[in-house]
Each structure stands twice: as structure tokens, then as C-alpha cells.
Structure 1
């Protein structure tokens, strides 16, 4: 996508693992971390799905971070991370930040269903 037409630049940076871009965007506008995209996801969901520990940590350290924020399907970052291979370090960060392992998505599943 053309960068100047990107409505969700932080989501793109999180999905692509572009740490420097994510840092710059958050420095300019910290509220971007709480913006939902057209897929109903927040940047933390994309960082979790792409297993990017640096960006997950960056987003988790934002003052407004909600470890149990759900996308439009009810998935939390913890659920997404649990469903992705080699995500133990990200799971630890999210749990340390207070993620609830028993939170349920729209289908009634918890993160434990995906481990």
C-alpha cells in the first residue's frame, strides 16, 4: 500500500515488524495504539499475529495499553499469540502486563484453547 494513503500506519508497521516506524508514530501520536482498523483489530493484534516481540513490548508499554482488548471477533492479543508458533516470549509479556488467560472470544474460547 502506498504509505501516504495508509489509513492505519501503526497497524501496518506492527504487521510488517517495522519497529522504527512504530516508535516514530507512537511518539507523534500515542492514541494511534487505540485505533481500530477496517478488520476490527488494534495494532497489538497485528504485532501478536506476526510474533513481533519488540513491537508487542513497545505497545504493551503504552500508558493506555489494555492487555485484554478484543478485536471484532473477540480475540485478545493473548489468544492470537497462543495460536502462533514460537510465541512464548510474547505470551510472557502479555501475561506480565495483566492479560487474562480465561477471557473468552465470540466463540467461547480462551487462550488456553490455542496453546
Structure 2
């Protein structure tokens, strides 16, 4: 269905909470509506980029909803519109949350892989504390995510946050033995 020009403005409009229709559908897990809205966005790629309430982008909300199909649909839409540079995995200082953090928090290695394949350099994305996705995974003790991130880029284990902490420090402080062992082993591995 081709959308009249004026209706695309309605898709971009925000409610009093700062959310668009796409945000509301994602927050309320109305995935069929999300698919419909994304499919109708022929000229409305900006919908995927705009943050709503609490600094969450539609991509972050899709990851948070554990909706791998929607995440892939958004990535495909970004690629098809040649706007993939605009679909960010960053965590910025304005409180915008990284979809990578959501994927790690949910222990969803599949979505994490989709995001990392979409933006391969994202192992070095930092939050306002200077922490990378490996810091996040290490602090939570999530071994599959740690192994995946180390496999992508071992040198991220050598990045300190603003407090001088390496991912190894966070895993140690929180008592995650397996995480400590794998991170430590990666530092001395020659392969």
C-alpha cells in the first residue's frame, strides 16, 4: 500500500511521552504491527533512527523485545535504503542505549551476532562509563557472549573504562570464574 505524503508525517509524530507509533508497538510487543509499520516505511527510514521515551531507538526496543525477526527486518530495511550508517549501535552520552547492551543483557547470542555482522567494528562501542560490549558481558558473566566478542576482536579485552577497569576486573569483582578464565586465557593465546 503506497502511503500518501501527509501520512508519513503522522508516522513521525510523537505522543506526549515522546514515542512514535513504532515505539508504542514495540514497547507493547505488537510485532505484527511493527512489521506492518516497517514495511510501509518506503520513504520513512528516519523512523528507525528516532529515539523515543528513555532514549530507546526502535532497534533497541526490538532487541529488548527479543524479536530477532524484527531486528533482521530493520537491518535489511537499513541496507536496502542505503542508510545502514544511520542505524546506530552506539551508546551515546545523551542516554541513548545500545542495542548491543540489550542483546547481551538478554543472553541472546543470535541477535548479538546479527548486530555484529551488520556493524563489525562495534566491539569497540563504548557507553558513558567507557565500557565496551565485552565489559558488559564480563560484568554479567555471560560466557557465550564473552567468547563470541573475544573471537571477533581479542584486543577489546585490553580496553579500560573511565575508572581504569578492564573487562577482566569486572568479571573478577562480580565473581564470574568462567568469565575470568576465558578472558585471561584470551590474553595469553597466540592464535
Aligning the two structures, in what range does the TM-score lie when normalised by the shorter sequence? Answer: 0.7 to 0.9
Report the TM-score, using the length of structure 1 for normalisation: 0.74
Higher relative contact order (CA 8 A, sep 6+): 1
Name segments (4+ residues, structure 1) moved above 4 Å.
none
Alignment of 1:12-91 (within 5 A): 12-63=102-153, 65-85=155-175, 87-91=176-180
In 2, are the aligned partners of 1:17 and 1:50 still within 8 Å (CA)?
A: no
In 2, are the aligned partners of 1:14 and 1:44 still within 8 Å (CA)?
A: no
Structure ranking higher in helix proportion: 2
Tell me the matched-pair count. 98
Alignment RMSD (CA, Å): 2.0
| C-alpha distance in structure 2 between counterparts of 1:16 and 1:50, whole Å | 10
Cα deviation, residue 8, structure 1: 1.2
| C-alpha distance in structure 1 between counterparts of 2:173 and 2:163, whole Å | 15
Structure 2: runs of 5+ lacking an equivalent: 1-53, 61-96
Structure 1: runs of 5+ lacking an equivalent: 100-115
Report the TM-score, using the length of structure 2 for normalisation: 0.47
